[in-house]
Amino acid sequence: MIGALIILHLISAQRAFSAKKVINSPIVNSISTNKNGIIISFSNTSGGFVSNASSSDFMICGKDKKFYPATQILVQKNKITLSSTSVNQPIAVRYGYGNVLNDSILTKNGTVLKPFRTDTFNNISYARWFADSEMKRFPEAWQLDHGKRLYFGYSQGLGSLAMLNMWKQTGDKRYFDYVKNWADTLITEDGKIHEYHVETYNIDYINSGKVLFDVYKQTGESKYKKTMDNLINQMKNHPRTLEGGYWHKLIYQHQIWLDGIYMGSPFLAQYGKEFNQPEWLDEAIHQITLCHSKCYNPETGLYYHAWDESKKQLWANKQTGLSPNFWGRSIGWYFMAVVDALDFIPENHPRRTELIAIVQNLTIAMGKYQSKNGLWFQVVDKPEGKGNYEEASVTSMCMYSIAKAINKGYVDKKYRIISEKAHKGIVNNLLIVSKNGTLTLTKCCAVAGLGGNPYRNGSYEYYIGERIRDNDAKATGPFIMGCIELEK
């Protein structure tokens, strides 16, 4: 049975959730457990409950402090019994917590059972707070990153990946449904993707395919597997450099960008593992290590944004083919790519240690360039440069990458302070609490690239001159994922 302090907290939580004072609203009296699950007894039930509730309205957690949807519910006169196949020894319950209240449990006189929680841990979860803020701002996932049309965009894919991580961390199915609904609006029964043009050989398309692994596992619907196969078929024919590096896009010929390593390599590695095609594991490693060999700068430990094999681009150094600057988000893309790909590389793979070494070296290098505020600058190595600024996406990406690398055992725990400083820096300097209670993440670089029309020359002035906006998914997605890693 939960002690008096928990009950007092529970009652205050019920009151906090109520928009208006409710007289004689049901109040939790006690909680106990038996072999059938967790039993909640109430007072003020006014003759008993009348229920239209489904088990998914309740979340149960065990000793791991992770919440999972209840799978069975029994509503009786003045008590509710719950259980979950995912929780062997339940210790806490949440009802309607973080969800829109649907008034699914009432007393016979019509009084609503208000949302409640019986736990006191994780009182402030920035991961949940920000994920729920994004869902309130953007009710459908295609709207993430300020999307104006239905599109299989890499930014929407990144934001949706963060929502899947929230689902896995909390057990709250709202986050999964948010992603699945997006996938279903884009993908036909034969696996075709809305507004997908394979002939452009755009590696950005591949990123959104990452969310389909979980959706396919949960639903078993073949259309998701067909879509992943179509994306793999693109990569079978994708144009390459002479050493086998994927071009970023057909219009960016002979060019390897750090961004593209994130878009493609983790997907290839996961596909290889999930469908027992190890050649794609090797391909992912090849792309990561080839990019390292071309873009890495040993003097700083940082990576240049891109490399042009032809050396013909105006932004490319005529001797090395490298772009001239260390753009923060491009390094963040690469950092996340290596950390995420390692999820699928077997421990006995002969080249796994190469990837771990890259993660370790990047952790040390980026730590040296972290500002006193815990943030990183748009152009990483020029903090004193005129117009340079502490930027949200590189900070969120590095916070996530380092925290995850520590949790996975790739990096010594002493480096956790880097991620913690980044989190504190974002909260203190870049986050705003809006009047409606949602969080806004500021100082996000909207976009940056090389070449194109109008031509982007990769200069310092170019990077600091790109548009800045709030709540860009390239920052908000990694922020959510980084908070999850720090909250584990």
Asked if omega into 26 is within 30° of 0 (cis), the reply is no
Give the tens place of pLDDT for each residue, 221-245. 999 999 999 999 999 999 999 999 9
Give the tens place of pLDDT for each residue, 336-347. 999 999 999 999
Q: Which residues of the chain have pLDDT under 70?
A: 1-24, 36, 52-56, 96-104, 121-123
158 Cβ neighbours under 8 A, 6+ residues apart: 207, 473, 474, 477, 478
Closest to 332 measured CA to CA, from 299, 356, 363: 363
Enter the DSSP assignment of 297.
Answer: E
300 Cβ neighbours under 8 A, 6+ residues apart: 326, 365, 381
Percentage of the chain with pLDDT > 70?
91
Q: What angle do CA 62, 64, 69 make, to 5 degrees?
A: 50
Rounded-to-integer distance, Cα 259 and Cα 332, Å: 9
Chain mean position to CA 287:
23
What region does 86 belong to: left with phi over 0, alpha with psi -120 to 50, or beta? alpha
For the chain, which domains are there?
Answer: 4-117 (no CATH), 126-487 (1.50.10.10)
Sequence letter at residue 112 = V
Rounded-to-integer distance, Cα 482 and Cα 307, Å: 29
Cβ 229 vs Cβ 191: under 8 Å? yes
Four-point Cα dihedral 7, 13, 14, 19, nearest 10? 160
Sequence letter at residue 384 = E
- State the residue for tokens 């860009």: 472
Rounded-to-integer distance, Cα 60 and Cα 85, Å: 10
Give the tens place of pLDDT for each residue, 93-114. 888 654 434 456 778 887 778 7
Length of the chain: 488
Give catalytic residue positions: 259
Rounded-to-integer distance, Cα 476 and Cα 160, Å: 11
Closest to 336 measured CA to CA, from 138, 448, 482: 482
Which pair of tokens denotes residue 430? 């870049």
- State the residue for tokens 């509730």: 53
- State the residue for tokens 């929680």: 117
C-alpha Rg value of the chain to the nearest Å = 24
Which pair of tokens denotes residue 225? 């597997």
Four-point Cα dihedral 110, 111, 113, 114, nearest 10? 130
Secondary structure element (H or E) that encloses residue 426, with its range: helix 416-429
Secondary structure element (H or E) that encloses residue 376, with its range: strand 376-377
Closest to 425 measured CA to CA, from 390, 452, 401: 390
Asked if omega into 115 is within 30° of 0 (cis), the reply is no
Q: What angle do CA 359, 364, 369 make, to 5 degrees?
A: 120
Sequence letter at residue 171 = G
Closest to 393 measured CA to CA, from 444, 448, 319: 444
